[in-house]
Amino acid sequence: MSTVGGAHHGPPFRALLVVGALGVVFGDIGTSPIYTLQTLFDPSDPHPVPISVDNVYGLVSLIFWSVMIIVTLTYITLVMRADNEGEGGIMALITMLKHGAAARGRRTAIVLAALGLFGASLFFGDSMITPAISVLSAIEGIKVVTPDLQDWIVPITAVIIVALFMVQRHGTAKVGRFFGPVMILWFVSIGAFGIRGIIGHPEILKALSPTYALSFVFGHFHIAFFALAAVVLAVTGAEALYADMGHFGRRPITLAWLFVVLPACILNYFGQGALILGDERSVSAPFFLLIPGWARLPMVLLATAATIIASQAVITGAFSVAAQASKLGLLPRLRVVHTSASAYGQVYVPTINWLLMVSVLILVFAFESSAKLAYAYGMAVIGTITIVTLLFFYLARTRWGTPLWMVVIGGGALLLVDLLFLAANMTKLVHGAWLPLLIAVIAWTVMMTWERGRYLVTKARDEAEGPLREFIDELSACDPPLLRIPGTAVFLNRGDQTAPLAMRANVDHNHARHEHVLIVAVDTMPVPRVPEDGRLEVDALGYARDGIIHVTVKFGYMEPSDVPAALRLLDPADTEGPIDLDDASYFLSKLELDPSREPTMAQWRKSLFVATSYLTADATDFFHLPRDRTVIMGSRIEF
């Protein structure tokens, strides 16, 4: 586990991490009481739950036990034990699976990694739907306070969303410290209002017994099955607990969940249930009607702040997933801006930011209400949860040697619950559940196409570059000898087997080489961060290579790829004397992709690969190279 989580820090530091986790991790799941019960009884739902005393008890009990099974048991107790050097999230599971597949050559692991990639793709759908449904649900409280303002709900939501995405470039580091106190106030408030509702009808507490949930499911299965599609909204944000584990650690997240978030949310759900028992008309907006009239407007404002924080968390998560996918070769090299000097995970990806903003605005204007968006939201959530559960138990069996009977019984039971929720959400396909699936299929296709196309381009590039050592031998055998230019040249390359295209072009056109030549390969490791003592791997390419060495620079998938900073760690003994990096020239190879008619990949996928390549960030910025000392040389590659 990462020491960030407080393993080597005292209680005061751990308390700060708990507060921080409350502000970043739990915004999504902490705001789900706003719309979950309301959606269940929504008359516009194609399968609404009839209002009755038995159904209220059954649904409240079902929500409670779903939260306990999926969040507390699956994620808090089990899944968060699987970390990749302290980092969590579905991308961490994918890297562990791919690493295991490379080590053991298991086809099953590769297939599951592809399935995990689909789960990561579903997260992109989640990151589009969460800001739309969260902010909409909060602003909808206006119609409870002042019904005349109902027509302003969508425009106000759109303005808030545009403002939210406009400030993303500034990062969350400066305002992050305010998120925790706001969310603490939120959880205290919703818990207190929940208690207020329970006091009115304390018999609702009988729903804590699982018998009410079971009798509702098995006694009214024709109703309960369809209701599961909305019950899953109570566990939205469960993946955030796991994904943000690297920032706060497992223990602070667990403490925050067990002692603050879980009690507050459950009290509010039970309070809403008690309110509906007393007045069936309150199903139209049970969350806001649970609040006394004098506090409704302040709670609308607090709910808006809480949903903005929830949106901020999932947007940042989308940035992180995209950045990690880019580093792992699943997406083109994206421009990633690190917005915090101390937190690796706080990144801003401009391309993803503007794509998300446009998508969220389209969703707001197309669906217009949180209830309609809920049909789409549940599919994104339960799809990711099901895949994470499956991957976790596969890793538990293959990596940690968990007994087969335990995996079959325990994993089978939890997967059965997930699959039941998934099946229920499939019934909402024509009502909006198709949306996250479509987004996921598009994102998955792009990533799989990029990975395959990258392989084909790499193969074609290898042929064009030729063997590195043979090329250097040719340079040494030149007659007359090549002109030596004083100084240092750094050629970025993909490995130590082939010659850099830019270096070949430079020699062919200028008939010269620099006195010191560093051929640098950047290797992204399947770990979040690489220690400095393992950052560089130097190959002198033989004693007769005359000032040419190969350096492999290793970065974790959560780290910025700062090549100049890494090269300053070089030992002069490895470079045949000191080299001048302050005035070094950097050379990059720019490829012009030309799809061939060879049946290596479908033509539409080749076209998609070329189109996606235009998103590739400028290598100069990506590798933190000095722009005034960087030379770009083009080459044409047919694949």
295-313: per-residue pLDDT in tens? 999 999 999 999 888 887 7
- Judged by average pLDDT, the poorest of 101-105, 472-476, 624-628 is 101-105
Q: Is the pLDDT of residue 247 over 80?
A: no
CA nearest neighbour of 208 among 269, 276, 286: 269
What phi and psi values does residue 491 have, to the nearest 5 degrees?
A: -105, 115
Q: How many residues does the chain have?
A: 639
Question: pLDDT value at position 346?
Answer: 64
Question: pLDDT value at position 171?
Answer: 65
pTM of the model: 0.80
pLDDT tens-digit map of 45-69? 778 899 999 999 999 999 999 999 9
Question: pLDDT value at position 8?
Answer: 43
**Which carries the bigger pLDDT value, residue 502 or residue 109?**
502
**Which carries the bigger pLDDT value, residue 471 or residue 170?**
471
Cα–Cα dist 597/590, whole Å: 22
**Which carries the bigger pLDDT value, residue 201 or residue 594?**
201
Report yes or no: 227 and 376 within 8 Å, Cβ to Cβ. no
Q: Is the pLDDT of residue 9 over 60?
A: no
Region 552-563 average pLDDT? 87
pLDDT tens-digit map of 135-186? 998 899 888 888 888 889 999 999 999 998 988 877 655 555 677 889 999 9
**Which carries the bigger pLDDT value, residue 132 or residue 579?**
132
Percent of the chain with pLDDT over 90: 47
Single-letter amino acid code for the residue at 316: T
- Residues with Cβ < 8 Å from 282, sequence gap 6 or more? 275, 276, 289, 290
Question: pLDDT value at position 12?
Answer: 62
Percent of the chain with pLDDT over 70: 93
pLDDT tens-digit map of 333-382? 888 776 655 555 567 889 999 999 999 999 999 988 888 888 888 898 89
Pairing mode, strands 536-539 and 548-556: antiparallel
pLDDT-derived band at 542 (thresholds 50, 70, 90) equals low
Question: pLDDT value at position 541?
Answer: 74
Single-letter amino acid code for the residue at 472: I
Question: pLDDT value at position 592?
Answer: 85
What does pLDDT average to over the chain? 87
**Which carries the bigger pLDDT value, residue 229 or residue 323?**
229
DSSP category for residue 489: E
Question: pLDDT value at position 3?
Answer: 36
pLDDT-derived band at 4 (thresholds 50, 70, 90) equals very low
Question: pLDDT value at position 413?
Answer: 96
Region 429-457 average pLDDT? 92
Provide the 10 A C-beta neighbour count for residue 470.
10
For the chain, helix (H) and strand (E) counts, in that order, are 27, 8
Cα–Cα dist 214/192, whole Å: 28
Q: Could you give the angle at which helices 176-200 and 262-278 cross, rounded to 10 degrees?
A: 40
Cα–Cα dist 193/273, whole Å: 12
